[in-house]
Amino acid sequence: MVWQADGQIITNNHVVPRDGADIQIHFTDGRTLPARVLHRQPQFDLALLKVDSTEPLPTLPAGDSASLRVGEWVFAIGHPWGQRWTVTAGVVSTMSTRQVEPEVSIPYIKSDVRLAPGNSGGPLLNADGEVVGINAMIFGGDLSVSIPSNVVSAWLKDLPKSQAILGVGLQQIELPAAIKQQLSSGHGDNALLVVSLIERPTDQQSILLGDLLLELEGQPIAGVHTIRQHLASKAPGQSVTLTIARAGTIQTLTTILLPKPRQDLLDTYLIYPLD
């Protein structure tokens, strides 16, 4: 669905599994425009697309998903089983949460609105026609799961405004006990393991495969979101200080931030999400 009149479009991450795919957006006025993936959030099953339009696109007003109440009427619009522009109705069944990282959980909406393949990424509306969720999946065969509009808004607000990256693929693992004993209090039980690297100049080989990222600019790294939030104000070419664990010892190093490369290069070098 169109989220902003400038061409920003929200859908589910699973709807656009490959960035380089031929993605097209079909509008109700008959137009078809090519789209590209700007950002993804696989844990929330969200993707932000962008189309280039010569005129503002029509949008639906966003509602406050936090104000939803059990029993409230909600409506879904989509293409279930290929049936174009189908509306289904139901009520909010419950508001739940799901743990996606040790310190990160997200709320989601369960309703008895009938969904089917073809509804993914479409809007869940309240009785005022406001978007209160993005439809994502079916749970237990009879309950529909939607991502609250407030979660979408918060995610978009926190997206990096810069294209600066560390240039590493990361995997979250449990922090080894021997490393944890060397750290001060304030660190959690997890660390981020460097599992892939974008090729960089030989004089910038500061981060190595197998490094454990512990702190960024002196602040414990609680998860990938910590890195994204910190780099949002940075530009390529700037340097940041990292505390890492390498070969069982804790070290501090300085690394140069890289510009975000083309997606085909990311696919070549990375096997885990880039940060």
Q: Which residues are catalytic?
A: 14, 45, 120
Q: Rounded to an integer, what distance in angstroms lies between the CA atom of residue 67 and that of residue 153?
A: 15
For residue 89 the two structure tokens come to: 């109705």
In SS3 terms, the chain reads as: CECCCCCEEEECHHHCCCCCCCEEEECCCCCEEEEEEEEEECCCCEEEEEECCCCCCCCCCECCHHHCCCCCEEEEEECHHHCCCEEEEEEEEEEEEEEEECCEEEEEEEECCCCCCCCCCCEEEECCCCEEEEEEEEECCCEEEEEEHHHHHHHHHHCCCCCEECCEEEEEEECCHHHHCCCCCCCCCEEEEEEEECCCCHHHCCCCCCCEEEEECCEECCCHHHHHHHHCCCCCCCEEEEEEEECCEEEEEEEECEECCCHHHHHHHCCCCEC
